[in-house]
Amino acid sequence: MANIQSRPKAYVSFQVRLSPDLKERLVRRSYETRVSQASIVVAALQHYLDTGLTPQEEDVEETEDGAALEDEEGK
């Protein structure tokens, strides 16, 4: 799959919990764009950190196990 950014020489990995709907959207976008899921997540995280945006409390709801769920209006 295509890589949308230059890769650093060293990596770290960690797990993220996603709602099934968000994971399906990620899979679909990856398939449609032929960009790896990891590259999409990295680009989204870089954009989030670079722009200084913060999720609004009403837009993101945390479940008891810490997984973030989208608000029904945020879809």
Angle made by CA atoms 64, 40, 29, in degrees to the nearest 5: 90
pLDDT at 61 over 80: no
pLDDT in tens, 8-58: 678 899 999 999 999 999 999 999 999 999 999 999 999 999 998 777 755
Average pLDDT over residues 65-71: 53
Distances (CA, A) of 50 to 15, 22, 47, 53, 59: 22, 22, 5, 8, 20
pLDDT at 72 over 60: no
For the question of whether the overall pTM of this predicted structure is more than 0.75, the answer is: no
